[in-house]
């Protein structure tokens, strides 16, 4: 084998000369379970956050009774791992849902969490709907949120398009979404975690 990296399943094989010009061969099991790329540049693939995962410093009051959300862009095919949100308060239940984009609005449900209690700070929730692995194609999606009581959530100050639709927290998650309204809101600290393929 020449110098370079190669994947075999979720295992990364690395081959190269050390400082003493001795040929070395190493084998690594990728922690994320995904080894990607082609020889000689193969590497273990890390998870990526898509959305606004870093606390932007401001907060906004979110009212119950609606699904609200913003557009996110998935740059390459990826498996959806988790949903994330940063809260400024604890206690409320939150539900996060990912919809596809049809004509600039959220339309068909792709995946969702269950309703989970928020803690102050970073919250990450697993995907429960559908129960099977969700692979996202590159494109635009809508990350939507519902809370069961009015809650202070982390936001930035730069406006982005907001989509919202009436929804009673705890009722079945609607799909397709109809009568979606558009407005604007400051960037919200919520995101998805994906594993590029």
Partner 1 sequence: MLDLPTSGRVAVALSLLLAVSAGTARAQICFPPADGVPGSPGAPDWWSPGATPAGSTTTSFLEDPRWRGAMAHDVLEYERFRVVVETSGSSQFLIMSWQVRADLNNSGDRLYFGLWDDASNSGNVYRLTRMQETQTSVAGATQAAGAFSGRVFAGTGPLDAVAWSTSGTIPPPPLPAWLTTDARVDVTCASPPSTGCDRWAFRIRAPLSATANPADTAPTGFKLTGPNFHFWYEIQDSATVGTATYAFPSGIVNAHEGGIPPIALPTPSTWKAAKLGSGAGCESDVALAVSGVWVNAAGSSTLSMTSNDFHARPVNNTAGNLFNDAVTARFRIANWGSVGFASPEWRETCASTTAGGSITPGNPFDLRCTWSGFDSCPYRPAGDPCGPQAGTKDSHQCILVDLANTTGTLNTLVFAPQSVFRNMDFDVNSVLTREAMIDTRGIAPMANGALRRDLYLRVQTRNLPARAPRLPPIGTPGTAAPPPTSVAVPVPPANEDAIRVREIAALRARFRELQLPSQGTIDVKSSLRIQQALLEGKITLEHVEQLMPTYTVFVWHDTGRTIETEQGPVKVMEPQPSFGLFLAHDGDLEGWEHRFEGAEQVAENLYKITAAKDGVTTVTATIAPKGELPPPAPKNTVTCSRCDVAPRNPDSQLALVLSFAFIAFVVVRIRRRRGVS
Interaction of residue 171 with partner 1, rule CB under 8 A: no
Interaction of residue 178 with partner 1, rule CB under 8 A: yes
**Single residue of 50, 95, 134, 180 touching partner 1 by CB under 8 A:** 180
Positions in 22-41 near partner 1 (CB under 8 A): none
Positions in 147-166 near partner 1 (CB under 8 A): 157-162, 164
CB of 51 closer than 8 Å to CB of 84:
yes
**Single residue of 30, 35, 66, 193 touching partner 1 by CB under 8 A:** 66
C-alpha torsion 51→156→152→52, nearest 10: 10
Task: Name which of 5 and 68 has its Cβ closer to partner 1.
Answer: 68
> Quick one: tokens of 159?
């406006």
Interaction of residue 15 with partner 1, rule CB under 8 A: no
**Single residue of 5, 68, 113, 123 touching partner 1 by CB under 8 A:** 68
Instruction: Tell me the C-alpha to C-alpha distance, in Å, between residue 67 and each of 31, 132, 195.
Output: 35, 23, 26
Q: How far apart are CA 64 and CA 59, in angstroms?
A: 16
């Amino acid at each position: 084998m020449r110098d370079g990296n190669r994947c075999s399943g979720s295992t990364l094989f690395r081959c190269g000369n050390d400082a003493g010009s001795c040929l070395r061969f190493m084998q690594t099991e990728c922690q994320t379970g995904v080894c990607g790329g082609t020889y000689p540049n193969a590497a273990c693939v890390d998870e990526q956050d898509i959305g606004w995962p870093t606390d932007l410093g401001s907060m906004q009051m979110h009212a119950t009774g609606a699904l609200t959300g913003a557009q996110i862009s998935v740059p390459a095919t990826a498996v959806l791992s988790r949903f994330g949100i940063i809260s400024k308060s604890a206690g409320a239940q939150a539900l996060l849902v990912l919809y596809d984009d049809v004509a600039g609005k959220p339309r068909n449900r792709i995946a969702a969490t269950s309703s989970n209690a928020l803690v102050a700070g970073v919250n990450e929730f697993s995907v429960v709907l559908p129960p099977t692995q969700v692979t996202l194609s590159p494109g635009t999606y809508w990350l939507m949120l519902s809370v069961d009581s009015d809650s202070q959530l982390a936001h930035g100050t730069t406006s982005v398009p907001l989509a919202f639709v009436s929804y009673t927290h705890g009722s079945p998650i609607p799909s397709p979404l109809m009568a979606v309204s558009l407005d604007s809101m400051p960037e919200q600290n919520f995101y998805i975690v994906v594993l590029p393929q």
